[in-house]
Amino acid sequence: MKNTHLPDKLPEEILDQLDPKLVKLYSQLSQAVSLRIAGLVRRALPLGIHPNRLVKYAFLYATAERQAKGDAVSKEHTTRSKSEMAGILHGFRAGYWDPAEAKQRYRRGRRARQQVGASLEGVLRKWKKVEQVVQKQRSYLPVHVQPRFSDESLAGVRKLLLDMRRSTALDEEDVLGEKDRERELAEAAQTYIWWCFAMPPYRGKWKDMHQLARAWKLSDTTYVTTFRTVVSRICKAVNCIRGPFGTAWEAILSEKP
């Protein structure tokens, strides 16, 4: 086993104790991930956790970190694309590169539509009363004036007001608004979820998780009971725990220690 070369050169005492299947999968990781795992493992060596478990926990944490970074990039692109769309609605075509200006124009435009629309609602209500008065009093108007207040003329004014009101309606989704959705998991929370569900239970697992969370600066909780309460609360809301590991990693992670 000592002749096995891993890109991050883990300590010999770790290499000697690793499951050969874990070594094989580990050697296939990208250099960035393997280096990150090596650093995490070295920091946790004083805890006395078995190397197989240690490498698995480190792999899950490193994967959560990379996923969080990827989500951040994706979120940034999505935000800029929405700003571009919002800007175009108001004649500003540089919204992707200047989201602040696009957002300002879009918000100002929505407020204007709300205010104009509300005013038109009031006008329409008043116009309805005007129509009722005209229809009741029209026959008493001078003959040469009556045609100006014909049913067709009244309907034309009503149609114009309705068209104006519809044009100000906020019928499209607020493209810059935050939808109600499940809170995005922070990398620490995602790590805890995978630690809990991707790896089977064993005696002392909560103690190991707590020690690693403290060693890797994921948590500053003093007591394992407090840590367990926090993690259990996070995991309680989880509906799906399948991770982007691949079947080979899933298999070895799920093996009982």
Inside any domain, residue 210: no
- Cα separations in angstroms, 204 against 150, 154, 211, 243: 88, 82, 11, 24
| Number of alpha carbons in the 13 Å side-chain half-sphere of residue 68 | 14
Q: Mean of the pLDDT values across residues 26-34?
A: 86
What pLDDT does residue 180 have? 35
Inside any domain, residue 187: no
Inside any domain, residue 189: no
Inside any domain, residue 107: yes
Q: What are phi and psi of 187, to 5 degrees?
A: -60, -35
Inside any domain, residue 53: no
Give every CB contact of residue 110 below 8 A, 6+ residues apart in sequence. Answer: 170, 174
Inside any domain, residue 2: no
Inside any domain, residue 56: no
Inside any domain, residue 102: yes
Give pLDDT tens digits for 139-179: 999 999 999 999 999 999 999 999 898 888 765 556 566 54
Q: Mean of the pLDDT values across residues 106-131?
A: 91
Q: Residue 143 belongs to what domain range?
A: 89-168
Q: How far is CA 166 from the centre of its chain?
A: 33
Q: In total, how many domains does the chain have?
A: 1
Of the candidates 63, 167, 75, which has an alpha carbon nearest to the alpha carbon of residue 113?
A: 167
pTM above 0.75, yes or no: no
